[in-house]
């Protein structure tokens, strides 16, 4: 992880165990250390159950580590941290607020006045191309549009780090591609530090500056791969030999992980 | 086949309209048939008038009490008792329910009392309430209150606890304080459930006031029915019963309008 620039977000020997007692407890993450550099786009890649969502919840302060530390700019995170804004997979929009009310929520919480809020909110609504839908309620929007509202809501709140928990997993393939390009465009413009969780190798390759491959049960870091594919990345990047080579490399890591996971599951499974 | 349908220009909207008109016609037809049977049964002497008066007698009794002004007074008196008892119950039970929903010690303190009081029908409070409050207005209001508050409390508690925890996380992640989470997430999130609870409880409040009026009251719809029974005036009993139905229907309609105004997002959801 010898990248230039200061780490903004770090995990230091983090272990997270769920449930108490010897029998019932599950170790979701064991002794995980990683740094996120200011301005970079990191993808946490791993199969389901590898603890990547747990890691993101630790970065957001939704969970606290059982052992080790999670640091934001060198200071430990001790509770829900508004400086690490979360984009939820299931949107988490307030159903009783309009698009405008949702997008302005963070600003309202920061005490921004009505007029300034309105102006800033509109800028982000325009940015995610929802102009004209300001007064609609979330229930009236498609999945892709709802995820855009979540994105605008978090960008308007202007956190220091963006955390994204498989935000496009519930979208159809075409909408997902459009949203990925949107996120790249926004990241290129804002250079906002982003930690993005995915189980899609292609998504990780298209979006990231760096890919962190996680191993499952307990969650640990398997490998860290810099992604040097040229930017700005268009869909056509997927046709380049570099892309294919990197994808093969990632796939080998993930595949060996899946096999290992399979064997451990079989080993633990009760005998018939 | 499909061309014939297209040629007939039966749009889905048109079909829906026709279906709803048909269903409305069925409503009226069903009522008309029951009225006709009622009329026939009394007219042809299948049922003696001391067991069931004819529709004409009921109409006549209704017109007389209406002209004397007594009927309207009774409706208003009962409505006022319901409104006062219900409003008092809501004013106390809604905030209490919200607090119990978000703060577990409050729930722990209230739980034993809720468990003890919930199985008691409001009618069991009548002896104590008469002893404490006499048979005036306060006693009727108290009976409505005792019969209503616990349902409002339970509905409010349940709705508050069922606010999506993901939304609470999201609000905190966006920088919301405790007060802001309460105002911006918990209250609006619980509101649809609270309003449903109030609607259900309103009908219960009405049954409470009628019970109280039947046992000890000078006026009100419950007293009207009970006195009519004592005089053997069966048509007037039926007039009273019809009035109760109509009044509760109007109250329900008003509650529905209020819900429509308060929950614009639910309106959007229902299309």
Domain boundaries, chain B: 2-43, 55-270
Tell me the longest C-alpha to C-alpha distance in chain B. Answer: 78
- Could you tell me the residue range of the domain that residue A198 belongs to? 7-83+159-268
Is residue B55 less than 8 Å (CB to CB) from chain A? no
Nearest CA in chain B to A82: B173
What's the whole-number average pLDDT of chain A? 87
Q: What is the mean pLDDT of residues B256-265?
A: 89
Is residue A91 assigned to a domain?
no
Q: Which residue has the higher pLDDT, B21 or B186?
A: B186
> Which residues in chain A are contacts of B177 at CB distance < 8 A?
109
Burial bucket for residue A112 (CB in 10 Å: 0-12, 13-18, 19+): middle
The partner residue sitting opposite A82, judged by closest CB among B173, B189, B191, is B173
Q: What is the mean pLDDT of residues A85-93?
A: 92
Task: Look at residues A256, A249, A255 and name the one whose alpha carbon lies nearest to residue A229.
Answer: A249
Please tell me the total number of residues recorded for chain A in this structure. Answer: 272
CB atoms A157 and B269 under 8 Å: no
Give pLDDT, residue B240.
Answer: 92
Inter-residue contact A193 to A162 (CB < 8 Å): yes
Among A252, A264, A251, A206, smallest CA distance to A232 is for A206
Of A186-190, B76-80, B154-158, B211-215, the least confident: A186-190
3-state secondary structure of A160: coil
Judge whether A137 lies within some domain: no
Q: Which residue of A has its CA nearest to B164?
A: A92
What's the token pair of residue A249?
């490399």
Using pLDDT thresholds of 50, 70 and 90, give the confidence band for residue A1.
Answer: very low
Question: Cα distance from A97 to chain B (closest Cα, Å)?
Answer: 7
Residues of A with CB under 8 A from a CB of B: 60, 62, 80-82, 84-86, 88, 90, 92, 94-97, 105-106, 108-110, 136-137, 139-140, 153-154, 157
In this prediction, residue A263 carries a pLDDT of 61
Task: Enumerate the β-bridge partners of residue A84.
Answer: A161
Please check whether residue A57 lies inside any domain of the structure.
Answer: yes
Instruction: At B45, list the tokens.
Output: 């002497």
CATH topology of domain B55-270: MetI-like fold (1.10.3720)
Which pLDDT band, with edges at 50, 70 and 90, does A266 fall under? low
- Please say if the pLDDT value at position B6 is more than 60: no
- Specify the pLDDT at position A38: 92
Task: Say which CATH number the domain at A56 has.
Answer: 3.40.50.300
Name the band, by pLDDT with cuts 50, 70 and 90, for residue A3: very low
Beta bridge partners of A70: A11
Contact flag B173-A140 (C-beta cutoff 8 Å): no
pTM as predicted? 0.82
Q: Is A138 a member of any domain?
A: no
A213 occurs within a structural domain: yes
Contacts of B195 in chain A (CB under 8 A): none
> A94 vs B172: CB contact, 8 Å cut-off?
no
Q: What is the pLDDT of residue A72?
A: 93
Question: Which residues of chain B from 152 to 171 reach within 8 Å of chain A, CB to CB?
Answer: 164, 166-167, 169-171
Strand order through the sheet with A26-37: A26-37, A7-18, A67-72, A75-76
Contact A132, A153 (CB under 8 A): no
Instruction: Respond yes or no on whether ipTM tops 0.90.
Output: no
What pLDDT was estimated at residue A262? 64
Integer Cα distance of A122 and A116 in angstroms: 10
The Cα angle at residue A173 between residues A216 and A36, in degrees rounded to 5: 45
Q: Which of B169, B174, B265 sits opposite A95 (nearest CB)?
A: B265
> For residue A269, is pLDDT > 50?
no
The answer to whether the Cβ–Cβ distance between A96 and B189 falls below 8 Å is yes
Q: Is residue A139 included in any domain, yes or no?
A: no
Model confidence at B217, pLDDT cuts 50, 70, 90, reads confident
Instruction: Indicate whether A110 belongs to any domain.
Output: no
For B268, which of A94, A140, A157 is closest by C-beta distance?
A: A140
pLDDT of residue B166: 94
Tens digit of each residue's pLDDT (9 = 90 or more) over A104-131? 999 999 999 999 999 999 999 998 889 9
Q: Which residues of B touch A106 (CB under 8 A)?
A: 174-175
Per-residue model confidence as pLDDT tens digits over A174-217: 888 888 888 898 888 888 999 999 988 989 998 999 999 988 77
- Tell me the C-alpha distance between B24 and B27, whole Å: 5
Residue among A180, A159, A28, A164 nearest A92 (CA): A164
Give the pLDDT of residue B9. Answer: 56
Q: Identify which has the larger pLDDT, A158 or A233.
A: A158
**Model pLDDT, residue B1:** 41
Q: According to the model, what pLDDT value does residue B3 have?
A: 45
B172 contacts A82? CB cut-off 8 A? yes
> How high does pLDDT run on average in chain B?
90
> Does the structure show a pLDDT above 60 at B7?
no
The answer on pLDDT for B270 being more than 60 is yes
Of A31-40, A216-225, B51-60, B95-104, the least confident = A216-225
A15 lies in some domain: yes
* pLDDT bracket for residue A232 (50, 70, 90): confident
How confident is the model at residue A2, as a pLDDT?
42
Res. B189: pLDDT tops 50? yes
Work out the pLDDT band at B19, boundaries 50, 70, 90.
confident
């Amino acid at each position: 992880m010898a990248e230039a620039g200061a780490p903004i977000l770090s995990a230091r020997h983090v272990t997270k165990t769920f449930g108490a007692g010897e029998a019932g407890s599950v170790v979701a993450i064991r002794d995980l250390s990683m740094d996120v550099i200011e301005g970079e786009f990191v993808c946490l890649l791993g199969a389901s159950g590898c603890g990547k969502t747990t890691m993101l919840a630790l970065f957001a302060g939704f969970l606290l580590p059982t052992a080790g530390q999670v640091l934001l700019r060198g200071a430990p995170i001790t509770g829900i941290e508004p400086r690490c804004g979360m984009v939820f997979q299931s949107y988490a929009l307030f159903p009783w607020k309009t698009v405008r009310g949702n997008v302005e929520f963070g600003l309202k919480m920061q005490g921004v006045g009505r007029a300034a809020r309105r102006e800033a909110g509109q800028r982000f609504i325009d940015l995610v191309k929802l102009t004209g839908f300001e007064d609609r309620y979330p229930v009236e929007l498609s999945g892709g549009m709802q995820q855009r509202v979540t994105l605008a809501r978090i960008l308007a709140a202007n956190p220091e780090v963006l955390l994204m928990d498989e935000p496009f997993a519930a979208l159809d393939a075409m909408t997902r591609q459009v949203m990925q390009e949107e996120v790249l465009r926004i990241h290129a413009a804002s250079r906002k530090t982003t930690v993005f969780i995915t189980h899609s190798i292609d998504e990780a390759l298209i979006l990231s500056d760096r890919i962190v491959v996680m191993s499952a049960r307990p969650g640990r870091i398997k490998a860290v791969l810099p992604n040097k594919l040229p930017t700005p990345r268009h869909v056509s990047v997927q046709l380049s030999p570099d892309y294919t080579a990197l994808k093969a490399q990632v796939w080998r890591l993930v595949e060996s992980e899946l096999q290992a996971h399979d064997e451990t599951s079989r080993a633990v499974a009760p005998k018939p | 086949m499909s061309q014939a349908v297209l040629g007939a220009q039966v749009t889905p909207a048109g079909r829906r309209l026709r279906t709803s008109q048909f269903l409305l016609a069925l409503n009226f037809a069903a009522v008309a048939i029951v009225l006709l049977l009622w009329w026939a049964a009394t007219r042809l002497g299948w049922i003696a008038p001391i067991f069931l008066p004819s529709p004409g007698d009921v109409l006549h009794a209704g017109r007389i009490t209406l002209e004397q002004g007594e009927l309207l007074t009774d409706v208003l008196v009962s409505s006022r008792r319901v409104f006062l008892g219900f409003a008092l119950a809501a004013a106390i039970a809604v905030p209490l329910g919200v607090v119990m929903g978000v703060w577990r010690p409050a729930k722990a303190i209230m739980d034993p009392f809720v468990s003890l009081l919930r199985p008691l029908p409001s009618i069991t409070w009548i002896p104590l309430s008469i002893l404490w409050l006499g048979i005036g207005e306060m006693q009727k209001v108290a009976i409505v209150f005792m019969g209503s508050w616990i349902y409002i409390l339970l509905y409010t508690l349940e709705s508050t606890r069922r606010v999506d925890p993901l939304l609470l996380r999201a609000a905190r992640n966006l920088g919301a304080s405790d007060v802001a989470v309460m105002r911006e997430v918990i209250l609006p999130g619980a509101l649809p459930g609270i309003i449903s609870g109030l609607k259900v409880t309103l009908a219960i409040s009405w049954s409470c006031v009628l019970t109280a009026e039947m046992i000890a009251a000078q006026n009100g719809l419950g007293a009207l029915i009970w006195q009519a029974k004592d005089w053997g005036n069966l048509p007037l009993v039926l007039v009273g019963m019809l009035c109760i139905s109509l009044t509760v229907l109007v109250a329900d309609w008003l509650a529905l309008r209020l819900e429509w105004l308060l929950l614009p997002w639910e309106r959007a959801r229902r299309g």
